[in-house]
Amino acid sequence: MSVGHHHATVPDSPSPQARTAVTARITAHVTQGWPHLREPVVTHRGQFCYVAARLPGQRQPQPILRLRYQGSADRWAIGIYLASDQRYTEAELPTSFGPKTGTPEQGIDHTFILYAGPSLQP
């Protein structure tokens, strides 16, 4: 094993502080953009951050997106939940959304619009 690879220092999963900060950012962004929804349900598992929301008329939170940590609280691979297949995919975001990697807020904007309509934030 060779030592001295710089990319090896990138953590595989976010620190507890990063998870707390990202959870707060996601919650704030959703409650500002989609005030008719309740607070989102944000869970972290390893390198992934999952976001679900209670959509109108639904009792259970609906999975909406999964963010995959890319070494920074501002860099996540964005995956959308496909209800039809009951799975997450990073490959099938509409190409009009641009990059598949972005901030948590970009991930929210790109995926919530498909489930809950456009954000009320300009």
**What number is the average pLDDT over the span 35-47?**
95
- Do 53 and 30 meet the contact criterion of CB atoms below 8 Å apart? yes
What pLDDT score was predicted for residue 121? 80
**What number is the average pLDDT over the span 93-100?**
67
What pLDDT score was predicted for residue 98? 62
Q: State pTM to two decimals.
A: 0.86
Residue of 11 and 101 predicted with greater confidence: 101
Please write the tens of the pLDDT for every residue from 48-74: 999 999 998 888 999 999 999 999 999
**What number is the average pLDDT over the span 70-89?**
93
- Do 101 and 76 meet the contact criterion of CB atoms below 8 Å apart? yes
Token pair belonging to 93: 């975001």
What is the phi/psi pair of residue 6, to 5°?
Answer: -70, -35
The per-residue pLDDT of the chain, averaged, comes to 88
Q: For residues 43 and 88, give the distance between their C-alpha atoms in angstroms, rounded to a whole number.
A: 15
Please name the residue that has the structure tokens 């990138």: 10
